[in-house]
Amino acid sequence: MAANRSEQATFAREAIRTFQPDRRPRIVEASVLNPHARRVAEQFGRNVLSPRLLSGLFGAGEFLALLLIGSAVLAAFDRLADALLILPFAGVALASLALLHGYELSQLSSQRRQPARIAIALVSGALATALCAGLTGAADVAGAACLAAYVAASMATMTLGRRVLAHRIRHWSRTGRLERRVVLVGGGGAAEQFIRQLEAHPYSDIRICGIFDDREDARSPQLVAGYPKLGTIAELTEFARIAKIDMLVVTLPLSAEKRILSILKSLWVLPLDIRISALSQNLRFRSRSYSYMGDVPMLDIMDRPIADWSKVAKRGFDLVFGVAALVAVMPIMVVTAIAIKLDTPGPVFFRQKRHGFNNEEILVWKFRSLRHDMADPTARKLVTKGDPRVTRVGRFIRRSSIDELPQLFNVLIGNLSLVGPRPHAVHAQSSAQITFTEIVDGYFGRHKVKPGITGYAQLKGWRGEIDDDVKLQKRFEHDLFYIENWSLLLDFYILFATPYSLINGKGAY
């Protein structure tokens, strides 16, 4: 049947409402992954090449190649004075190729589809160059011959380059180095139809890693189209934290709305793309409501907050400003280390296990601010105002956040970012001895991005002791705001506004 706009809007509103964390305390039981699923997850534990990153890098390489070819051709024709005409040629040619979907992996992996698209793109670039030459008075017979040579050399180079890339893509796909890893939620006929349709696409980069479903009856057999059912929905959360999974695809019919929303509520905390297969749905939305995986229509529910080029940009931001900050504060760190050593016996640094990206455990470095014989590595007891465990130097460096400066080394290592949700200790509790996961439903949703030295919640004053459940809830809400609205501009704002927020020092004991 046909679905009107109100039906689509209703489903979207329900899906969005599902992701809003419940403020009521709820105990989250740890899921135990069965041995077979754990072995499969460990097989997918290594990182792979991202198709989107590969396409972008290859596009940048082609642009550079066109610049070099143009320079060589102009030099051969003694027309280096017209070097600026290379830019419209290369820019229009690659833009045309992108419009023709020439940078999609399915096109890059096919040798048959390449020449025609390259020819159209280069002719478009040549026409744009001819127009610019005419406007600047650089058009003449010799210029036309130069342009023809440019097109011919570019055609030969790009065709050869894409032929080599197609060969490498097929090799990387066979060896598992280039793929998007997908887990299906919901077995049975719908999952089988999805798999068969996907397998019919000859150049798909999708790797189905397994199926998870709570049903144990005939509707969800143990083997679907050759792929095993690995476990329940509860086990999927742990599976996705061990394996490097890119996407979850729900293959249940939209008529099972309550079950879908219940599944999404438990899975939204994972840093994955979440899609619903629309292949066998009776509801039909407008075409622009869908994305496609090969020829399979998908409803996009949630995207990873920082992925592909955004991830590269954020890592570059961390390295550039992390190194600069480390150089700038090194004198402060040296003086602090000496003061700690002179104040009380014990080591200068303190290491603590905290939750990192995707809920993994990481070791975070800090300057020691507690007496060594009263150290609390598991953070079972939070530091409070007037806490006798805090040393004289520790009281100052905690209030000024100087104790956090060694975490710049964590940034350079790569398990922390400069900006992100602050990492909490693995066994962190409130002053009422209640774990954070009991206080906030969906607490692990803040681990969908890499944690940071400073964050939006800290900038807005939600730092320090958790002596009230509302404080943790507010910190959590600000962390989610950051995750959902991330941009490099927001990182710049938080990073450079943090020193001013530290002047207040509220909540830091």
**DSSP letter, residue 30:** P
pLDDT score at 442:
75
Say how far apart CA 425 and CA 410 lie, in whole Å: 15
What does the block give as tokens for 93? 């040619």
Say how far apart CA 435 and CA 484 lie, in whole Å: 25
CA atoms within 13 A on the CB side of 119: 4
What does the block give as tokens for 62? 């082609």
| Three-class DSSP labels, 225-268 | CCEEEEECHHHHHHHHHHCCCCEEEECCCCCCHHHHHHHHHHHC
Q: From the CB of residue 241, how many other CB atoms can be counted at a distance below 10 Å? A: 19
pLDDT score at 26:
38
Residues 6+ apart with CB under 8 A from 367: 333, 336, 337, 340, 348, 349, 350, 397, 402, 403, 405, 406
The three-class DSSP label of residue 371 is coil
Bridge partner residues of 277 (DSSP): 298
Residue type, 494: I
Phi/psi of residue 301, nearest 5 degrees: -100, -45
> Do 398 and 434 form a contact (C-beta atoms < 8 A)?
no
Say how far apart CA 87 and CA 319 lie, in whole Å: 31
Q: Which residue has the tokens 């507690």?
A: 370
Compute CA 436 distance to the chain's CA centroid, rounded to the nearest angstrom. 24
Residue type, 105: L
Q: What is the chain's alpha carbon radius of gyration, rounded to the nearest angstrom?
A: 28
Say how far apart CA 139 and CA 130 lie, in whole Å: 7
Nearest C-alpha neighbor of 93 from the set 126, 116, 69, 71: 126
Residues 6+ apart with CB under 8 A from 226: 195
pLDDT score at 14:
52
Q: List, for residues 157-172, the tens digit of each pLDDT value.
A: 999 999 999 999 888 8
pLDDT score at 375:
72
Mean pLDDT per 10-residue run, the chain (509 residues)? 44 49 40 83 84 91 95 90 90 94 85 86 93 82 88 95 91 84 85 84 80 78 84 85 88 76 82 82 56 78 87 94 94 94 89 87 89 71 73 86 92 94 78 68 83 89 70 86 92 90 59
pLDDT score at 433:
64
- Dump strand ranges (E) for 318-392: 349-355, 361-367
Q: Which residue has the tokens 């995207």?
A: 303
> Do 105 and 205 form a contact (C-beta atoms < 8 A)?
yes
**DSSP letter, residue 485:** T
Cα–Cα distances (Å) from 149 to 73, 138, 145, 507, in that order, read 7, 16, 6, 69
Compute CA 365 distance to the chain's CA centroid, rounded to the nearest angstrom. 24
CATH topology for the 5-48+179-302 domain:
Rossmann fold (3.40.50)
Q: List, for residues 317-364, the tens digit of each pLDDT value.
A: 999 999 999 999 999 999 999 999 998 888 999 888 888 888 888 999
Residues 6+ apart with CB under 8 A from 59: 94, 98, 103
Nearest C-alpha neighbor of 408 from the set 420, 418, 421: 418
pLDDT score at 331:
94
Nearest C-alpha neighbor of 421 from the set 305, 255, 287, 299: 305
> Do 213 and 229 form a contact (C-beta atoms < 8 A)?
yes
pTM of the predicted protein model: 0.79
Q: List, for residues 249-306, the tens digit of each pLDDT value.
A: 988 776 677 788 888 887 888 888 888 887 755 555 555 556 777 777 888 888 888 8
DSSP 399-442: HTTGGGTTHHHHHHHTSSEEESSPPPBTT-B-TTS-BHHHHSTT
Tell me how long the chain is: 509
Say how far apart CA 272 and CA 448 lie, in whole Å: 8
Q: Which residue has the tokens 């007496």?
A: 371
pLDDT score at 67:
95
What does the block give as tokens for 484? 């959902």
Q: Domain boundaries in the chain?
A: 5-48+179-302, 51-175, 309-502
